[in-house]
Amino acid sequence: MEPTIFILIFAFLLAVWYLLWSQSRFVRLINALPGPKTLPILGNALDLINLNQQELNRKMSIEWVKKYGSLYRLSPSIHSMVIIAAPERMEEILRNPKYISKGSAYYPTSPYLSSSLPFATDDQYWRKSRRLLNPAFHIQVLNSYMNVFNEISVAASHEFEKAIEANNGGEFDIFHLMMGCAMDAICETVLGRKKLKKEDKEKLIWHWESLRYIIVQRYIKPWLQFNWLFELTALGHKNKIVMEGIIESSSKFVQCHRDSLKQESTEKEFKTKLNILQDESVNNNNNVSDITDFEKSKKKLGFMDLIVKECDVNGNYSEKEIAQEVATMVKVTQPAWGFETTGLAMIWFLYTIAKHPKHQQMIVDELDAVFGNEDRPCTLQDLTELKHLKYCIKETLRLYPSAPLIMRCLPEDVEIGEYTLPKGVTVGLSIYGMHHNPQVFPDPETFKPERFLPENCIGRHPFAFSPFSAGPRNCIGQKFAMLALQVILANLLRRYHFFVNPSAPEVMTLQDVTLNPNAPVKLVVSKR
C-alpha cells in the first residue's frame, strides 16, 4: 500500500473515531465543566507542554482555580481529569468508601509499585493490605520510636555542626542533610535497620528523584501516556532501570530483616517467634503505664516484623508484593510519610521559620520553658507542651503539603453541586490548591501559625486542612510523620538558630509527585 493512501486511511479512521468519541456521554459531561479551552485530540497539551514545573504548580493550583473555580476540567490529551480545590467538594470524594480507587492515575509506577498500599489500583488488594498493616502503625508502636527519633536528632545536630565548620559559618544547602535524617528515621524504625551508608542513601534518593520526573513527564506529554510508545523511548528505558533498582534495594531490606530474625534460630523457631511476638502479652499487659513497660511487653509488631510474618507465616504476600510495600514505605506511604515526604516537611519548616524569626523565637522560648538548660531527650509529655511548635509545623504543611495532588478514579457518576462527574473520570484533589484558596484560608500566602489555635479552628471545614489526605484512604503513617517532625525539629531548635540570606531569591515550589523546592534551600545556621 502506498504511504500516502495509508496515511489518508489512518486519518479518516482517526477522524471517525474522534467524532464518535466526542459525542459520547462521558465527553458531554466533561465539556459541561468549566476549564481552559481544549483542542481536538490534543486537549490542553499545548497549555501544559511549555510550562516548567514551577509554572505548572501555580497555573493548576492557583491561577486556574481563581479563573474557573474550585472545580474545573483539565485535559492533558484525550484523557480528561477534574481538579477540585475546595473542602466541601473534596469531601464528596474522600469520605465515600466506594471512591478509593486510584485507577490508571498511577500507571507510571506499574507494574512495579501498582500493588503497594499507596499506589494500589486494585481496591480489594488495597483493603487487604491496609487491614494487615494497620497494627504496625498503632500509637503504642509509634511511641516506642521516641528514643530513635531523639538519637537521630543528635546525629543530625552533629552533621549541622560539620556543615557550619565546612562553610565557615556561611549559608549551606540543607536539602540532602535533612533527607538523610528522614531516611535514617525510616530505616531505624519502620524498616528495623541501622543507618544506610552514604552511597546507598544517595542511590535511593537518585532513584526516587528520577521516578518523580518520569511520572510528571508522562502526565504533561500526551504521547508518553501510551505504554507501548513510552517503553520505546529513552525515558521508558530509564523508568525500567529506576524501578528495578528500587525493587532490588527493597528486597535487600526485607532479606536483611528476615536474616536478623532467623539468626540463631531454626526455621521452625523463626516462624514461632513471629507468631509469639505479637500474641505473647496482648491480653496480659492492658495496664502498661509508660513507654518503657510497653517496649518490654512487645505486644505489637512493627512494620517489617509484620510484613515478613504475613509473607513467611501466613502467606498473604508474595516476595514481589512485600518488596513493593517496602519500596513505598521508604519513599512515600500516601501524603507526608516516607523518607522524602517527611524530609521535605522538615526542609520547608526550617526554611519557613528562618524567614519568620518572630515565630522561631516563640518556639525557642517554648523550648527553654520546657527543657531549661537540661540536655535530655524529648518525651511525649514534652510534646504536649510545645504548642507553638505544632502550630508552626501545621502551618508549614498547609503552605507546603508534601503531596500536592491526590488522584481518585470514580466507579460511578457523582453529583457535586450543579455538575455531574462521569463514571471512569480521574479526579485530582488539589491539596495545594485548597490550602492556598483564599475562600478556605484567608490571606493564604502568609505564614500564620495562629490559624491552628483551637479557637481559630471553630467553624473550619474538617477537610480544609488535609496534608495527609482524609477519609478511608488517608495516610496510614500520618501519626508517625507528626511524631517524627515534632521530636526532630524540637531537638534541632534546642541547639541551633536558622536564618535566610536576605539577598537570596525566594525558594519556590515545583509541581511534582511531591512538593519539592525549585532551588537549593540554603540557610545560615548558628549554634545557640
What residues form the annotated binding site?
475
Q: Let me know the angle formed at the C-alpha of 275 by 274 and 280, rounded to the nearest 5 degrees.
A: 110
Can you say which residues are annotated as belonging to the binding site for heme? 475
* 3 state DSSP class of 81: strand
CA–CA gap between residue 229 and residue 489 (Å, rounded) = 45
* 3 state DSSP class of 336: coil
Contact 270, 261 (CB under 8 A): yes
Helices 387-399 and 478-495, packing angle to 10 deg: 120
Grid cell listed for 192: 528495623
Q: Let me know the angle formed at the C-alpha of 246 by 243 and 248, rounded to the nearest 5 degrees.
A: 110
E strands of 371-454, at which residues? Answer: 405-409, 414-416, 419-421, 426-430
Residue the block writes with cell 524540637: 490
CA-nearest of 339, 360, 342 to 350 is: 360
Cis, bond preceding 111 (omega within 30 deg of 0): yes
CA–CA gap between residue 406 and residue 427 (Å, rounded) = 8
Q: Could you say which DSSP state residue 61 is in?
A: I
Number of C-alpha atoms within 13 angstroms, CB side, residue 2? Answer: 3
Q: Is 64 exposed, middle or buried (0-12, 13-18, 19+ CB in 10 A)?
A: buried
CA–CA gap between residue 477 and residue 467 (Å, rounded) = 12
For residue 82, which phi and psi values (nearest 5 degrees)? -115, 125
Contact 72, 34 (CB under 8 A): yes
CA-nearest of 119, 506, 502 to 338 is: 119
For residue 426, which phi and psi values (nearest 5 degrees)? -90, 130
Signed CA dihedral, 40, 42, 43, 47: sign only? negative
CA–CA gap between residue 191 and residue 136 (Å, rounded) = 11
DSSP string, 161-193: HHHHHHTTT--EE-HHHHHHHHHHHHHHTTS--
- Which residues are within 8 A (CB) of 515 and not within 5 positions of it... i.e. 6 or more apart? 57, 344, 348, 400, 401, 402, 403, 404, 432, 509
E strands of 364-447, at which residues? Answer: 405-409, 414-416, 419-421, 426-430
DSSP string, 256-285: HHHHHHHTT--HHHHHHHHHHHHHTTTTT-
- Length of the chain, in residues: 528
Relative to beta strand 522-527, strand 405-409 is: unpaired
